[in-house]
């Protein structure tokens, strides 16, 4: 299966972001004809303030971003794993992934479980819980008989979520992200490869890159989107530029790795 990741510099302007996404998706589909295209976390609105982010929230299946993604998936005949969109549901706000099939229909929706409430070593404070509520459902979906698992960014630090996705049959796990530059330089590759190795799945890790403004301050995301195989090998990797990357994943290799080194069958706790 051929898969493509869209790496972009998302900012606090939905119109600009959707214009960029439209261009990048169309370009990669025309050149590579992937079965699945993955977008990063917060691809349509990144930064701003709690108030401006909340104002951009969409009540699915309505909303500009939702309808745009549904229509482009249908027009181009692709599966589209739409990073994350700010979702308003039942009076709450979620950081939500929506997945569309080639008919433009929603086939999965995942609300981010682990919220990024930290202070980085250089003193920058991130508090996602000021904006978002926490999801509580473990979500998978299927493409051509292959089970995909959903996670978002900070989830990558919690291997128990990944173990649960494998129990649900995941052979590929998708990680849209907006990793900070500082934590990305220290941990991004290590975490992507570790999650792939321990779950014996392909990991599709798609990040934002560059500068955005949040609460009046410049913030920097790491980029370096990558596809990692079940043995922990990086098949393809972006740098820090706005770009797309594509690779073909051999789904038989998941079974091969799991047969030769059946670690996922050896859990005793």
On whether the CB atoms of residues 203 and 162 are closer than 8 A, the answer is: no
Tell me 1's DSSP state.
-
The active-site residue out of 41, 87, 128, 171 is 41
Is 128 a known active-site residue?
Answer: no
> Which ranges of the chain would DSSP assign to H, the alpha helix?
14-32, 50-55, 64-76, 159-167, 181-183, 189-199, 252-260
Is 256 a known active-site residue?
Answer: no
The active-site residue out of 42, 150, 153, 192 is 153
- Strands of 8-156 (E only): list them: 36-38, 79-89, 92-100, 106-111, 117-119, 125-127, 140-143, 146-150
Tell me which residue has tokens 């990048």: 24
Q: What are phi and psi of 252, to 5 degrees?
A: -70, -25
Instruction: Give the three-class secondary structure for 133.
Output: coil
Tell me 242's DSSP state.
S
Tell me 153's DSSP state.
G
- Range 48-51 contact pairs with CB under 8 angstroms and sequence separation of 24 or more: 48/12, 48/213, 48/214, 49/214, 49/215, 50/130, 50/131
Is 153 a known active-site residue?
Answer: yes
The active-site residue out of 56, 112, 181, 192 is 112
Residues with active-site annotation: 41, 112, 153
């Amino acid at each position: 299966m051929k898969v493509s990741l869209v790496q972009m510099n998302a900012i606090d302007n939905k119109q600009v972001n959707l214009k960029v996404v439209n261009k990048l998706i169309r370009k990669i589909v025309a050149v590579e004809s992937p079965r699945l295209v993955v977008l990063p976390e917060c691809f349509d609105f990144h930064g701003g303030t709690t108030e401006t982010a909340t104002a951009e929230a969409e009540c699915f299946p309505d909303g500009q971003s939702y309808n745009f993604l549904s229509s482009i998936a249908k027009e181009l005949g692709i599966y589209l794993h739409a990073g994350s969109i700010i979702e308003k549901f039942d009076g709450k706000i979620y950081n939500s992934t929506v997945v569309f099939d080639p008919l433009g229909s929603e086939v999965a929706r995942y609300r981010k479980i682990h919220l990024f409430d930290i202070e980085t070593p250089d003193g920058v404070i991130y508090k996602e819980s000021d904006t978002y509520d926490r999801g509580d459902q473990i979500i998978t979906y299927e493409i051509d008989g292959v089970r995909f698992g959903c996670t978002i960014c900070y989830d990558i630090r919690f291997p128990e979520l990944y173990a649960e996705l494998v129990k649900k049959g995941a052979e590929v796990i998708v990680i849209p992200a907006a990793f900070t530059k500082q934590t990305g330089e220290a941990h991004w590759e290590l975490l992507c490869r570790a999650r792939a190795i321990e779950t014996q799945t392909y990991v599709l890790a798609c990040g934002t890159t560059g500068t955005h403004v949040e609460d009046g301050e410049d913030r920097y995301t790491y980029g370096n989107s990558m596809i990692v195989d079940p043995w922990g090998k990086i098949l393809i990797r972006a740098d820090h530029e706005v770009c797309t990357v594509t690779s073909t994943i051999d789904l038989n290799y998941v079974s091969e790795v799991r047969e030769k080194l059946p670690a996922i069958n050896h859990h005793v706790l």
